[in-house]
Structure 1
Amino acid sequence: MGDRGISRLRDVAGLSVNRDRLASATHEEILKGETTDIYFVKTRDVLAAGGMLETPVVAEIFTRKPGIFAGLSEMLRLLEGQNLEIYALEEGDAFDSREVLVRVHGSYGSFGMLETVYLGMLASSTAWATAARECVDAAEGKPVLCFGARHVHPAVAPVMEKVAVTVGGCKAASCILGAKLAGMEPSGTVPHAAILIAGDTVKLAKLYDGTLSSEEPRLVLVDTFKDETEEALRVAKALEGRLSGVRLDTPGERGGVTPELVKELRWRLDKAGFPEVSIVASGGLNPDRIRVLSQAGVDSFGVGSYISNPSPMDMTMDIKEVDGVPIAKRGRLPGIMDNPRLKRVL
Structure 2
Amino acid sequence: MEQMKSLNDLERVKIEHDRKLFSATHEEILEGKTTDVYFLRTMDILNHLGLGDTPVTAEIFAREEGVFAGITEALGILRNKNVEVWALKEGDTFNPKDTLVRIKGPYSEFGVYETVILGMLASSCAWATAARKAKEACKGKPLLCFGARHVHPAVAPVMERAALVGGADNASCILGAKLFGKEPTGTVPHAAFLIAGDTLTVAKAYDEISKPDENRTILIDTFKDEAEEAIRVAELLGDRLYGIRVDTPSERGGVTPELIKEIRARLDQKGYKNVKIIVSGGLYPEKIAELADAGVDAFGVGSFISDAKPIDMTMDLKEVDGKPIAKRGRIPGIIENPKLVKMI
Shift of 1:304: 0.5
- Within a 5 Å distance, the mapping from 1:280-299 to structure 2 comes to 280-299=278-297
Match of 2:4 in 1: 6
User: SS where residue 101 of structure 1 aligns?
Assistant: strand
Sequence identity (%): 60
Shift of 1:195: 0.5
Match of 1:112 in 2: 111
Deviation track 1:124-165 (CA, whole Å, cap 9, x = no partner) reads 111111111111111122100111111111111111112212
CA RMSD of aligned residues (A): 1.1
User: SS where residue 244 of structure 1 aligns?
Assistant: strand
User: SS where residue 129 of structure 1 aligns?
Assistant: helix
Distance in 1, Cα, partners of 2:321 & 2:182 = 46
One of 233, 236, 241 as aligned partner of 1:243: 241
Distance in 1, Cα, partners of 2:39 & 2:2 = 14
The answer to whether structure 1 residue 76 and structure 2 residue 79 are counterparts is no
Q: Which moved more, 1:264-273 or 1:240-249?
A: 240-249
Distance in 2, Cα, partners of 1:43 & 1:197 = 58
The answer to whether structure 1 residue 32 and structure 2 residue 54 are counterparts is no
Distance in 2, Cα, partners of 1:90 & 1:240 = 45
Q: Which moved more, 1:213-222 or 1:291-300?
A: 213-222
| Structure 1 portions without partners, runs of 5+ | none
Shift of 1:83: 1.4
Cα contact 2:54–2:321 (8 A) shared by 1? yes
Shift of 1:240: 2.5
- Within a 5 Å distance, the mapping from 1:1-346 to structure 2 comes to 4-21=2-19, 22-165=21-164, 167-346=165-344
Deviation track 1:168-194 (CA, whole Å, cap 9, x = no partner) reads 121111111111212121110110011
| Structure 2 portions without partners, runs of 5+ | none
User: SS where residue 241 of structure 2 aligns?
Assistant: coil
Distance in 2, Cα, partners of 1:281 & 1:98 = 37
Shift of 1:342: 1.3
CA gap 1:61/1:19 in 2 versus in 1, 3 angstroms: farther
Distance in 2, Cα, partners of 1:4 & 1:306 = 39
Residue identity opposite 1:91 in structure 2: E
Distance in 1, Cα, partners of 2:315 & 2:45 = 20
Shift of 1:20: 2.1
Distance in 1, Cα, partners of 2:341 & 2:179 = 25
What TM-score comes out, normalization by structure 1 length?
0.97
Shift of 1:279: 0.2
Matched length:
343
User: SS where residue 103 of structure 1 aligns?
Assistant: strand
Residue identity opposite 1:83 in structure 2: N
Residue identity opposite 2:59 in structure 1: E
Residue identity opposite 2:123 in structure 1: S
Deviation track 1:44-89 (CA, whole Å, cap 9, x = no partner) reads 1111001011111111101111011011111111011211111111
